[in-house]
Structure 1
């Protein structure tokens, strides 16, 4: 039996198709390939797929996609639809929740938070080995806390989300409104001769520390793991965060707190592989 695992974000869809002897990896644009269409193409090509696990950069509850600020949704009822059409079990959860489980396994910690920055910015929190989910699996949507009004609109529809400052999509909207797919080189922006580019980079750092400080104050984890494409390509952000977080978080919550960079190549995809064993994952 083959198993299909997918990590879909605002920029890329990454997948891994695994059987008993080998695995095949693939990457494509999530803006050009709708998720349901991608899953159906694989199920049609490989009739022995018995399980699909998906880490999804959006809000998900009980197998239903509620919303996705940076992804076009082609089938909200994806779990039910795949089961009815193909008789295949599919489990889908927020990508940060998936990343959190993978990170917890990697660091062997039961009280921790994951803070990932890429196309968007997201967080997930674990307490005593359990993901804190909220009533509809929407807990700790840090990217959409009110921060500061802008002339731009977040993917969620509001104009004051912290994601508009501390994310790749936020930077692109401020600097490249007609080419939001440009790759963000934050360290280059911070050294730019153009004042507006330096300002955007400085505002990114401030917003990131604000988000992390809010997360620490609310969740009181013993470990925060930073991940995502922006962090991966700008590793200096780890030290910036360590240096400045004391001004943004409750002092008592900082005692014994560790802040580390992810050591995993793709934590959301690794977490998607754990969904098969999480019987109550979306309940």
Structure 2
């Protein structure tokens, strides 16, 4: 069983022994500690009804924010109304649902789901959402880092003259290659900025093409840094912007090729050839959360 708890929805699913999805339920997420637990309970109860059987295994939960896996606690999940002190979410959920719970950061959970989808033991998962962050599976194990900061690629500064990032540094990759960066570069009203920008670029709009290429180059730079650090077998793009699908992969692959054009060494690594995008209908974070129980 896995839950992907997000700011707007909680998605839950049950997997069979082979990783196939037996049941899937989506409910709106209510903010705050009580709201999160209540939302999770609604999804869990609906999954029991959908499967027609008791659910007594370990429930894996992915949630945004800073997660202390050993304590089963989360903080700085601001969009969920969780800030300040650590929230012991694992124990709150276990007490409410009556099953053991494994808690993990949502990007790390999605990384496990991406590794299961690609059937690989070495993978970088780059989540391009409001921010920019990566998850790492190395030799079949999730790498969190000594302080939980592994994969925080969005806060690598690349432009000393760039805008100030929310982390306090200037010119971070996140200010160039994220959903929020796209929204700032290409305001689009009710249309998702990534879709609007890529659509305008396809029409030949030179301003849109320049904005798309700058964004794609930023994503490619994040991939290059991560790949030179850990040399993964597979590189997977996910997060809200990845709903673009193949156009995103092609744009980032082209940026990778251009960055490698003057470097035989970089070209030999074929980073563009390792690039994948999570299918839009694959609930990667909820699947990865379910694997936490193993």
Q: TM-score, normalised by structure 1?
A: 0.76
Gaps of 5+ in 2: 49-53
Secondary structure, in 3 states, of the residue corresponding to 2:293? Answer: helix
- Counterpart of 1:54 in structure 2 is 61
Change (3 A) 1:22 1:214: closer
User: Which residue among 123, 131, 135 is the counterpart of 2:142?
Assistant: 131
Worse overlay, 108-117 or 212-221:
108-117
CA deviation vs aligned residue, 1:75-123 (integer Å, no higher than 9, x gap): 6321233345665432221222222222222222112211222332221
Aligned residue for 1:260? 276
Q: Does the Cα contact within 8 Å between 1:7 and 1:55 map onto a contact in 2?
A: yes
Residue 3 of structure 2 contacts residue 40 of structure 2 at CA under 8 Å; is this kept in 1? no
Q: What's the offset of the Cα at 1:265?
A: 0.8
C-alpha displacement of 1:136 = 2.6
Unaligned runs of 5+ in 1: 278-283
Counterparts of residues 53-72 of structure 1 (less than 5 Å): 53-62=60-69, 63-68=72-77, 71-72=80-81
Matches of 2:15 and 2:139, distance apart in 1 = 33
User: Which of 229, 251, 255 is the equivalent residue of 1:244?
Assistant: 255
| Aligned-pair Cα RMSD in Å | 3.6
**Distance 1:254-1:165 versus aligned 2 partners, 3 A rule:** same
| Aligned partner of 2:293 among 257, 261, 276 | 276
Written as runs of structure 1 = structure 2, the 5 A alignment for 1:141-220 is 141-148=152-159, 150-151=162-163, 153-154=165-166, 156=167, 158-176=169-187, 183-184=192-193, 185=195, 186-191=197-202, 197-220=208-231
15-24 or 82-91: which moved more? 15-24
Structure 2 Cα separation of the partners of residues 19 and 223 of structure 1: 24
- Give 1:25's aligned residue: 25
- 2:35 corresponds, among 34, 37, 41, to 37
More helix by share: 2
Evaluate the alpha carbon distance shift between residue 69 and residue 42 of structure 1 in structure 2; reply closer, same or farther with a 3 A threshold.
closer
Q: Which string of whole-angstrom CA distances, capped at 9 and with x for unpartnered residues, describes residues 210-242 of structure 1?
A: 111111111111211222332222422212333
TM-score by length of 2: 0.74
Q: 1:192 to 1:41 in 2, by over 3 A?
A: same
Task: Describe the superposition over 1:121-155 as per-residue Cα deviations: whole angstroms up to 9, x where unpaired.
Answer: 2211222111122113320111222233544643x
Q: Which residue of 1 aligns with 2:51?
A: none
Moved over 6 A (4+): 19-22, 192-195
Match of 2:3 in 1: 6
